[in-house]
Structure 1
Amino acid sequence: MWEVSSGQTPFNNYEHDYDLAMKIVNGMRPKIRTEIPSKYKELMMQCWDADPLKRPKAITLRKEFLKMHKEIYSDNVNEFNTLEYNNSSQISSSSLNLSSSSKLHSLSTSKLHQFENLPEPRNATEEEQEAFHSKPYNFEIPNNIIDLNSPKDQEELIKDLNRLELDK
């Protein structure tokens, strides 16, 4: 459902390895696009439940999809006929961030991973989901910063620049 709504394969920016498997077991799910209809989003999130017994059955999905389809094409004013549906139809190939053909091939090729002793799957909290999707930043300050107010660093910089000029 996520792939249909986003036009991308899940976790296409991640290496498909043990670390990703552990994140998924610990509740990581792909980030949901904001412009998809809320009924579709709710159904997708139910399908992602860590407990298989809480996931909707195929017949339930079929019924819900048929209901959504009828709502889309009915004359009634509803969520699907308003801005939310219009936004979801704006997905274009330029916004899909399509991967290179080699990456697409590697993602579409089946692989069998043997991961042992995985913990019990669980659902992540909203805060944990946000943390999964936040980009990690390195706030470490390197020790080799040039201080242009220091006469010693100024001399070193001038020497380096002069050396570069001589090499040309």
Structure 2
Amino acid sequence: MIIAGLKYLHLAAMLCWCAAMVALPLMLHFYGAIWRSTTGSEQTQARYAEFRLITHYGYIGFATPAAIIAIAAGTGLIFAAQVFDLWFVAKLALVAGMALVHAWIGHLVLSSGENRGLRNMPSSLWALVMGVPLMVGVLWLVLAKPDLAWIADWMPEFMLAPRGQAAGQT
């Protein structure tokens, strides 16, 4: 029962987090383009205020809580379901990459407010270019649960041995 609840919470939070990681860069890109194309009017100020509210609250009030809940529920699942396979380590590496992209999106949201738009900043669409493959990779690893034992053949021995012991000793 606990594992099912954690899986539901983790999946729901991951869906929200991934949706936000797709929507926020698109909003930054398209709202920013609209705002830059119509400067100097009262309507522009209203659009800019709307842009700031949507991106700020989308990041602070939706994306970040979803990320925290997804990571917390996923951490609980690690121990509740005792998943310690190599595919899971790869999944954690991809989730760490998603967290870095999430932080960069936050930087773009903050910079768009401080600079009144994304002037002199890289395109926010780069967050999609980096984030979507990470999300697809996580989904593939979770659904396929591939046998990644072949990776151990390439790793140095010290990375495979328990800390302070040689491999194979008890």
TM-score (norm 2): 0.23
- Greater C-alpha radius of gyration: 1
Name the one with the larger helix percent: 2
TM-score (norm 1): 0.23
